[in-house]
Structure 1
Amino acid sequence: MYKTLALVLASAISVMACEIPGDVLSNNITESFSLQIQNASFPDIHNHYLNIWDWGGGDQHLFVSPAGNSTSELQLIDGVITLPWDPPRRAVINGEYEVLDNTTKMFMTERGDPRAVFDVVYGCNPDTDAVQVQLAFKSRGDEEAGGNVGVRPFNGMYDFRWTPAGNTAYDASRPWTKVTLVIVHP
């Protein structure tokens, strides 16, 4: 009976899985967009959006909505999330390293800090199973390849953090949660 049930469930899952197109997507998106945050196992952040918060000195810190200010003017230039302001702000990974969970803050700045570089890929929406366009983390500047982007609690909000691939460090008081970044055009 259990084998039959497992086979039925496996068949249902394979029927439900969206079909990923085979074409390669450009890592340049000049049409403005927002970034939706997905992690279906974590309702506090699932289907919220990446917001920006002016933190002084021209930096824009990244928070999960409703914290911060919503933005639909993001672009992707050479794989880097960019606010096309004058001067432009780019997503970087270079602030507030935390040894307890081995994460580093991701924020937007005009400075030349190590950039957060992404590939544009297709994925499946966990709620609707529709094909969606996502950002897959590629590298922290040219220093380190791979890793993951996620969020963790910060003063009653959630801020964005990067962690290297294979990280096993964990801080129970501020648990880091991996997220999927989905491109949403206004």
Structure 2
Amino acid sequence: MMQSLALLLTSIIAASSACTIPTGPPLSNNITQGFSLQLQNASNPDVHNHFLNIWDWGGGDQHLFVSPSGNLTSELQLIDGVITLSSAFWDPPRRAVINGEYEPLDNTTKMFMTERGDPRAIWNVVYGCNPDTDALQLQLAFKARGDELGGLLGVRPFNGMYDFRWKGPGTSVNDPNRPWTHVTLAVVHNATLS
């Protein structure tokens, strides 16, 4: 009886603590105030609550890694759904694209920042609930790779770090030696690396 009551109370508390997602028209796909992106997936503590960091990889490209690798940036903007390194700091601005290092073992393609015209990573801005605090937060929901709709963004081990990889829609293959983890990207203003 006591276990049943405890289970009932736990269920009621969990149900009442979830944040409320506002209803209404879709959010704008432009965020002009600089922000950072926090990764969320509690099933992988190596990436959960870490940040998307940038690393100058040569040739003007900025490669994307999970903190602590690379450098934390709060210079990101979302312009027409594309993650952009602010033109106030980068001339010309760098935009998130998906077009590098395709890997057939897990059917993933690298996402990085460049000034070139590779297929852009396009996002929608949505509300979500923080998995740790239940606080309402802004999130980026993956929309398309250029004209190709769908797919998921995640991270995968790379030389002792994690880099950002896109899986096309309907992909279920995984490389057991370099497991890919789907992540939620939460918009964070004034982030500090901890």
| Common topology (TM > 0.5) | yes
Structure 2 equivalent of residue 56 of structure 1 = 58
More divergent stretch after superposition (19-28 vs 113-122): 19-28
Separation (CA, whole Å) in 2 of partners of 1:72 and 1:139: 24
1:107 aligns with 2:112: yes
Separation (CA, whole Å) in 2 of partners of 1:6 and 1:176: 34
Q: Which residue type is aligned with residue 87 of structure 1? A: P
C-alpha displacement at 1:13, in angstroms? Answer: 2.7
Separation (CA, whole Å) in 1 of partners of 2:42 and 2:174: 20
C-alpha displacement at 1:11, in angstroms? Answer: 3.1
Structure 2 equivalent of residue 17 of structure 1 = 18
Q: Which residue type is aligned with residue 103 of structure 1? A: T
TM-score by length of 1: 0.94
Structure 1 equivalent of residue 183 of structure 2 = 179
Q: What stretches of structure 1 of length at least 5 have no aligned partner?
A: none
Q: Which residue type is aligned with residue 25 of structure 1? A: L
Percent sequence identity over matched residues?
A: 73
More divergent stretch after superposition (29-38 vs 16-25): 16-25
1:141 to 139, 146, 149: 146
Separation (CA, whole Å) in 2 of partners of 1:57 and 1:44: 29
1:75 to 69, 74, 77: 77
Separation (CA, whole Å) in 1 of partners of 2:14 and 2:41: 18
C-alpha displacement at 1:78, in angstroms? Answer: 0.2
C-alpha displacement at 1:3, in angstroms? Answer: 8.0
Structure 2 equivalent of residue 167 of structure 1 = 171
Separation (CA, whole Å) in 2 of partners of 1:8 and 1:50: 37
SS at match of 1:48: coil
Q: Deviations over 1:52-90 (max 9, x none)?
A: 011111000000000011100000000000012100100
Separation (CA, whole Å) in 2 of partners of 1:132 and 1:19: 10
CA RMSD, 1 decimal: 1.5
Distance 1:100 1:3, change over 3 A: farther
Q: What stretches of structure 2 of length at least 5 have no aligned partner?
A: none
C-alpha displacement at 1:41, in angstroms? Answer: 1.2
